Amino acid sequence: MVCLGNICRSPTAEGVLRKLLHDQGLQHVIEVDSAGTSGWHDGEPPDRRTIGAAAKRGYDLAAQRSRKVVASDFEQHHYILAMDDQNLRDLNSLCPPQHRSKLGLLLQYGDSEIPHVPDPYEQPAAAFDTVLDLCENACSDLLQQLVKTHSLAAARSQP
């Protein structure tokens, strides 16, 4: 999950997907992470408003720390999902050509009528709830797609 500073949108998406994975017993099968295309907030926790809005819905983001996308991310991860077009363009410029097929937008999943997760940073508190709504919808669909595409239900039921 990738946004600009890795303190609002991408930590929210990471936290939502992490909880969905836990609820489905897939937390040891799928790894989820988040990063930013900038290093402005390296080492910082998510924005306090992000943590607060997420906590109200049962997501714990407090242990997350911001980091910048690094070259090894493109090799290690199978899906690299940006929150908006600008971050997707930035990822494309950083990504080696052989890994560009891994790049996409988070909201290509779910049924949102908008294509991007809006940046809530300079917006009223309600914007953080909108980010959660969008991430919950997209991450739920993403997880369904991952389970189907990679036959994870069968792998999960094996000892």
pLDDT tens figures, 115-148: 999 999 999 999 999 999 999 999 999 999 999 9
81 DSSP β-pair partners:
104
User: In the chain, what are the domain boundaries?
Assistant: 2-157
Q: What pLDDT is attached to residue 155? A: 44
CATH topology of domain 2-157: Rossmann fold (3.40.50)
pTM for the full predicted model: 0.94
pLDDT tens figures, 24-79: 999 999 999 999 999 899 999 999 999 999 999 999 999 999 999 999 999 999 99
Q: Is 9 a catalytic residue?
A: yes
Q: Is 42 a catalytic residue?
A: no
Q: What is the mean pLDDT of residues 89-112?
A: 98
Contact, 68 vs 33, CB < 8 A? no
Q: What pLDDT is attached to residue 116? A: 98
Catalytic residue chosen out of the listed positions 8, 9, 90, 95 = 9
d(CA 135, CA 108): 11
pLDDT band at 1 (very low <50, low <70, confident <90, very high): very high
Q: Is 119 a catalytic residue?
A: yes
Q: DSSP assignment of 13-59, as one string?
A: HHHHHHHHHHHTT-TTT-----EESS-TTTTPPPPHHHHHHHHHTT-
Catalytic residue chosen out of the listed positions 3, 95, 135, 139 = 3
Catalytic residue chosen out of the listed positions 47, 84, 90, 119 = 119
